[in-house]
Every structure is written in structure tokens, then in C-alpha cells.
Amino acid sequence: MYDVLIAEDSKPILRNLTMLLETSGLPIRVAATAVNGEEALERFRSQSFDILLTDIRMPKMDGLTLIAEAKKLQPELKAILISSYSDFEYTRKALNLQVSDYLLKPVEKSQLTEVLSNVLERLRAAQPTPASLFRDLVSESGWKALERDPEAVKAASRFLLVRRQPFSGMNALAPEPIRSALSLPPSAIVLQTASGDGVLILGGDDWPRSEADSTASLLEDWRESLQEKGWSVSFAAGLQTAAWNALPEKIREASRLLDDRMLVFRPLAFELTQPLPFSEPSYEEIDRLEDGYAALIQQSEKDRFLLLLSEQLAKWKTTGLRLEELRRFVRRLAASFVSVLESVGSLATAELPGRAERLLELADYETFRSELLAFAEEWLEAIRSSRRKSGQELFHQIDQYLRTNLYSNVAIQDLVDRFHVSPSYISRIVKRHGGQTFVNFYTDLKIAEARRLMEAKPEMLIKEIAEVLCFGDQHYFSKVFKDRTGSSPLEYKSRLQESSETI
């Protein structure tokens, strides 16, 4: 049923419109009426409506203003204007205000029914389908399955979210094996979660049927059943009856709680309405630990870093470590490596955070532990390597490369590709050790080579020298040469010739 508000200052017309709507046979009801725009707007502030039927000319606030203000409060509102023939052109232009349609006075029942039927069709099309409410929660194939059976979705009133335990050596959970292992009724809907690491079960009033003493023991029975099949999982359940369209938000809450509280080494099972096991995560210890490791990374204390990290990873295996705490530690560790590598000019950092995150997907904790240590050792070596390239040594390498490429046109990006450091780092190194910008430094090397060529090969034309040294044209070369030497190339060659003849 859709709610309509009628705003009309003529009481006879208002009564007639109300009667026409109530006898139209359409799934609508007149939820409120108003005799001017201001009164109608007050209704919108306290009540929700699907359709507004309003006269275009009313005292205190006209229909167009009412529509504009009402849509600010209820953007999905559909508005229908009522006007006389003399206002027709004005009404037609008003359609640009997202007015759904218009009616001409006197309003006839057939005209009203046709216009409202069109508006109702648009309202139905804009309404979410049952499946669409679950679209971000399940895989694409699962969502399409829900689309095919909306009545089954509406019959759902409970859910169970099954999440694979980290480092359990399992492949992704699959819906049908879970259905069989838990002996679910045919009416239960079992779907792959959107993240791919779990299964969502939607059940109706006929599920669960169990003789368990409590919800906690029921969840434990289910978990043990899956454990016997080789699946190590954690549960978040909503077994208290709820409206089907309230389930998606409850499932999102359950997923968030699993994200926050899921343990690495011990399965977790809870029901949303029951007291939650374990407190909210505190990252103080994780952050304190990582701050210490960040300092060791900065100091390149490779042996001490690897020893402490190995001991910490072994220690965590005996504690109630949360998956999110471990994820935060890995992320912050990767960020520390990135920060130090970038500070010494390395560009090889883009893949680092992703590589670190993927370690959490490994089959077992021991593999994760050894891979994280290998990862850390690799990047500590990368930091040492980058630092060896820094300062005077890197400048010497750049200087040698530029001197052997005076007959080319080397750009900073060429040096980036060759030495695997950032453009800004190259600029700083050249400025610090060469005393000037990269462009000026390279240009001075080329001008020195031009002077050598003039002396060693006096037969070469100025134009030829400009071309072989990649200056582009003779005029530009002459200008740069004079800026650097105080004389033009011709003047310089003349002095060289005079000096030679004198000798």
C-alpha cells in the first residue's frame, strides 16, 4: 500500500479527489490532506509519503515550492501537479522539477487512474528486490539464486554466518557440503559469502530444530560436526526470529564482530543477542611492539630484528591473538619498511603491502611465520642495498653514467629506471654532491665536451657539435654555450685558432 498526501485549497475538489482515489482500486490510501502548501510541508516533516498530489496555485505556498521543499525531506517522493487549462504551459515547464506527471482540472477518474498507475509502476521499479538487500553479503551466483526465488528470501527469519579459521589449511568453504554436514532442512538457503571465505545460511521458522540445552551448546554441536569433517570454523548467529528485511543489517553486524574478535588459534561461536565472548580488541600492545620493530628497521639492525620477530611469532601461538590484531601488525610492519625504503630513494615499494597482506592467507601458521621472516629479511637487505647506493657512491655512479652518455639526451627518468631510486632522491643527490640541479649539471658536462671537441676537432662545424650533443638546434646551443663560457662558440673557436697559430 502506498501513502498519498493531497494538497488542495478548494475543499470540494479535495473531497472529490479523496473519493476518486479511495474508489480507484489502486493499492494506495489517502494518508493526509492539506489546504495549503505550508500545512502540507508540516505533514512531510512528521510523516513519510510515497506520492504528493498538489494544486499548482495555493495560498501561503504554491505547489511548485511545496514539491521542491518536500523533496528535500523525502527525495524519493513522486509528485503530481493539478492545474487548470490556463496554467498548462506553466505546468509543463514544471516537469523539469522532477514532477512525475500532471492532471488538468476538472480531474476525471480515468485520467487520475492512468496517471497514478504510471507513478505506481515507477515506485515499484525503484523499490529494492528482496535479493538486492543481500547483494553485498553473498557471491554473485548466490545473489542470482536469491533473485530467482524471492519468496524463499521472505520466508527467512534466522541466519548463521560460517567463517573459515585462519591458517586452518582448508580450501574455501562450499555451500552444499556445509548443508549436508549440518543436516539443514530443504528450505534453508546456503550461499557463499561475498568475501569467499565463508558461508551464509538463511533459515525460516522450521530451523534450527535441536535438543541442545542452550544456543551456546547448539553452536558448539554444529562447530564440532564441521570439525569432524575437517573444517575448522567460527560462527556468528542470529537465531532469534527477525523480519527477513532486517536480516541483512544483522548479518553485517555479525560479520563486523567476527572481523574484530575472531581468534587466530581458537574457534569462536556466538549469538548476537547473547553476551559476546571476549572484549573489544585493543591495539595498544600491537602498536607498541611495532614501534619497536620500526626503530630496528630504521637502524638496519637485521639480526636483532629477525630474532625478536621470530620469538614474538612463536609466543603468539600460545596466546589469544585476534586475527585483526595480527593483520594490523603485518600492515604496520609493511608500512615501516615502505617508509624507510622511500626515505633512501627506493621505488621498489608498490608491491610490498600487498605481498605482506597475502601472507595471512597461507595454509598454516608455521608457513606464515617462516614466510614473514623471509619477507622481513628480504626488505631489510633492500634497505641496506639502497643505503649503499646513497650519497657519494650514488652520485659517482650517476656522474659516470652521464659522462658516458653525453651524446644522448638522458632524463631523470632514465636514471630512475637504471638505479631504482626515486626522481626526488636523484635530484637531492645531484644537488648535494654536484652543487647544482640535475639539468644544469648535465648541461655543464655537455658544454665541457663541446669545448673538447672544438679543440680536438677544429674542422667540426658548430652546427655539427650542437647536433651530436643533442642540443636540438645551433641557436639554442650557442645561447647555452655563451651562458656557460662567456663567449659564443665562434668566438671560442677563434681564440683557440689564434692560440694555435701563436704557438
pTM of the model: 0.59
CA 254 → CA 140, 190, 236, distances in Å? Answer: 21, 17, 6
- Full strand arrangement of the beta sheet holding 189-192: 189-192, 198-203, 158-164, 233-238, 269-271
- Could you list the beta-strand ranges (E) of 84-207: 101-104, 158-164, 189-192, 198-203
* Distance separating alpha carbons of residues 43 and 47, to the nearest angstrom: 6
Mean pLDDT by 10-residue block, N- to C-terminus, for the chain (503 residues)? 90 89 88 92 90 88 87 88 66 59 81 89 80 88 89 93 89 86 91 91 88 82 89 93 92 92 90 79 84 88 93 90 92 91 74 90 93 94 75 87 93 87 85 93 94 91 92 91 92 83 59
* All residues at 6 or more sequence positions from 239 whose CB lies less than 8 Å from its CB, including other chains: 158, 160, 208, 215, 218, 271
Q: Please tell me the predicted confidence (pLDDT) of residue 94.
A: 55
Q: Please tell me the predicted confidence (pLDDT) of residue 2.
A: 87
Q: Please tell me the predicted confidence (pLDDT) of residue 136.
A: 86
* Distance separating alpha carbons of residues 82 and 62, to the nearest angstrom: 11
Q: Are 269 and 239 in contact (CB under 8 A)?
A: no
Torsion angle, CA of 114/115/117/119, rounded to 10 degrees? 170
Q: Are 142 and 195 in contact (CB under 8 A)?
A: no
Q: Please tell me the predicted confidence (pLDDT) of residue 462.
A: 92
Q: Please tell me the predicted confidence (pLDDT) of residue 214.
A: 84
Give the ranges where 344-473 is alpha helix by DSSP (H).
Answer: 352-358, 365-388, 391-403, 412-419, 423-434, 438-456, 462-468
* Distance separating alpha carbons of residues 234 and 270, to the nearest angstrom: 9
Q: Please tell me the predicted confidence (pLDDT) of residue 86.
A: 53
* Distance separating alpha carbons of residues 79 and 101, to the nearest angstrom: 7
Q: Are 50 and 26 in contact (CB under 8 A)?
A: no
Q: What are phi and psi of 270, to 5 degrees?
A: -150, 160
* Distance separating alpha carbons of residues 87 and 426, to the nearest angstrom: 72
Q: Which three cell numbers stand for residue 5?
A: 498526501
* Distance separating alpha carbons of residues 53 and 299, to the nearest angstrom: 73
CA 361 to chain centre: 20
Packing angle, helices 323-343 and 247-261, rounded to 10:
70
